[in-house]
Structure 1
Amino acid sequence: MAEQEYPIKQGKSDVSRAARLAIAPMMDWTDRHCRYLHRKLSRDTLLYTEMVTAPALVRGGATHLLAFNAEEHPVALQLGGSDPVELAEAARLGAAAGYDEINLNVGCPSDRVQSGTFGAVLMKDPGLVAECCAAMIEASPVEVTVKCRIGVDDQDPEAVLPEFLARISAAGVQRFAIHARKAWLQGLSPKQNRDVPPLDYALPLRMKGLFPALHLSVNGGIGSLDEAEAFLEQGFDGVMIGRSAYHSPAEILAQADRRIFGSGTDTDPVGVARQMMPYAADHIASGGKLAQVTRHMLGLFSGRPGARIWRRVLSEQAHLPGAGPELIEQALCAVLDAQAGDRGSETRGSAGTTLTV
C-alpha cells in the first residue's frame, strides 16, 4: 500500500513524544479537573478531553466545552462527528483555543454516539472518515489524529484495519490510537464492549510492520506501567491507558515521567493532594463545587495505606453545602495517620521478629 509523507503540524507541545503514554479520552471522566490532577502527577503524559461533538460547538455554540487550564499541556481535544464541514470548523475552534492536537473519535460504541453517526460506526465508512480528516487537517494548524477500533460487528479486522489505515493516512493522518478490540454496535452496551469480544494486540502490532511511517499507539485493557513498557518494547510507538489511570492515577502516572519518558522524578501523591487544594479553592470561588474536583481524586492513594478513609471522607462530605478545600487536608491527615500507623506496625513487627530469633 502506497504511503505518502505529510508534514506534522504541532501545537504548543511535542505531542508525538507525549503520545508515548496517553490517558484515554473518557466520557464523564476526563474533564478539566481530572486532567489537572493527572498533569500534577505527570509532566510528560499526553492528556485527552472527553469527546466533544462538532455539532455542539458549531451549531450549538457550546464553546465553553473547550475550556482548559494552561497547565494541562500537552493536551488534545477529541471531537465526535461525521460532517466534514462541521468537523473542520470544530477543529479550527479547537486549535484556536490552544489545544496541541485534534483527535477524531472513531471508536466509541454507545447508542447515543451511533445515533449521530459518530464513533465506532464510522469504521464502516472509511471514505467518509478520510474526507472528514482531510477537511480537519486543512482547517487546523495543529496535528489531526484518529482513535479507532480494529473493526465493528461482523467485519474481519484482518481485512478492515489495514484498509482503514491506508485510506485515512492517505488523507494526511499520521498518528493513530488503536483500541485492540472489535466493537459490537448492536446487542452490547458500552460497558460490555470494554470486555467483549477479546482483545487482539497482535493485529495492531502487525500494522506497525505494514505502516512503519505511522505513529501507532495501542489501547484497551492495559492496566499498569509494566504492561505499557512491554508494549513499547514490542514496537508500538505509544500506549494509551484508560480506566486504570482514572481509578489508580498515582499507580500509573507518578512514575511515568521517569519510566516511560526517561525524564524527571517520581511524584508524591501527598504533595499532589496538597497542590489540588488551591485549585479547588479557585474553582469554588468561581461558583463551582468541591465534589466536581474531588470525585476524580478518590483513587489517588489506591493500593496505599489510608486509601479507604481517604475515599470515605471525600465521597461522603465533598458534596455537602459549604465543603471547601480544607476537607482535602482533613482527608490527607487521615491518610498520613494511617501511613504512620502502618510504618509503626512494620517497625514493631521487625522488632518482635528480632526478639524471637
Structure 2
Amino acid sequence: MNVGTGLALGREHKPELARRAVSEALANADLQVANSVLLFLTSEFARNPEPALMAAGAAASCVQVVGCSAPGIFTEQDWVLDAPAAAAMVFGNGYGLAAEPRPEAQQLLLSLAAPNAVNTTWLATPGRRFGGISGDATGQGPFSIWRNGKGVADGHCELAIQGATGAVGAAHGVRVLSEPKPVTAAVGHDIVFLGGKPALDTLQRAYPDQPDLPLHRLMAGIADSLEAFKHGNYRLAPLVCANETDRTVTLARLVEPEQLVFWALREADAAEADLAHTIDKLAAGLGAAPQFGLLFSCLGRGPYLYSGIDRDLERLQQRFPGMPFIGFYGNGEIAPINGTNELLQYSAVLGLFH
C-alpha cells in the first residue's frame, strides 16, 4: 500500500506515542520510509509538541511532518478523547503532502488552522480548502499547528495532496424544520423579518413541540440559492437568543438581506443519515474506489452526539472496509461551499482520495 495509519494511546503525553503511531502506520502501509506524515496529537501535547514531532520524523525518516493538536483524534481503528494519544497517516511511493506556492483556484488544499488564525482573507486565497480548526475542548486553551516538523508562526498551513485525486464534501447533520425564506430585514446578527414575517414567529411555527425553544440544538441554515440548498450547500449558524419583545432572532454570524434562511434541529439520526448521503455522493463523484480518507468532525458530533459511540466513523468503516482514514474532533471545520471556502460548525467534512 502507499498509505497507512497508526494510533497510539498512553497515560502520559510522551514522544513515544508519536513514534509508535508512525511505526504502526508504516507497517500497515508496508513502507520502510515515508514521503510525508500527517500527525494529529491530543491537546496534552499542544504546549510543547516539538519532541513528539522529532520522534515522528525520525520514525518515518522524513522531515515533512504536518498536523495539529486537537481535543480528540481518530483513525479507522478507533477514536480517542480525554487521554494522551497520537494518530498518524504516512504517505509513500507516489503520494505526499507538499506546499504549493501558487495553488490553482480549483486545487484541493488540506488546511489546518488555530482558532485565532482563521480569517476571511486567508480563506479567500486560491484553492479549495478543507480541514479543521485546532484547539482544546473549550476553544480557549493551548493549540499548535505544525509543518515541516515544526510549529508555524502564522497559525495556519495548507498543503496539496500529491499523486491523488480527491472529492470533498460537508455533512451538516441537522433535520430541516422549515423551507428556506429570504431575509427581508436584518440588523447585524439579528434577523428581523424572514419571508416578510417576524423571525421569531417563523421559528416558533417551525418548532412548535415545546413551549421553550432548545436554542442549544436549534440552528439557522443560510443558503445563497434554492439550488444550493437542495444540494446541501449551506452554512449553519447557532442561535444566540430569541427576543420575545421585538420578535427577532440573534445568530452567531452575520446574515445579509435576501440570503435564504431556514430553521433546523441538530439530532443524531439526521447527522448519521446526512453523512451516509455525503459518503455516497463523494464516492460517486470520485469515480473509483477511494484508497484513503480524511475526516474532520466537530467536537459536538462524534461520541458526544451519538451517546458514547461515533456512528460517523462506523458509517465510513462499513462503507469502505479496511480503507485507512484519519482525522480529529475540532472547534470548526473548513470546506468549499458553492465556490467559497467556509468555516463551518457542528459539521463533518470528508475527503475521499484515489
**What's the TM-score once normalised by structure 1's chain length?**
0.29
Larger relative contact order (Cα-Cα within 8 Å, sequence gap ≥ 6): 2
Larger % of helix: which?
A: 1
Structure with greater Cα Rg: 1
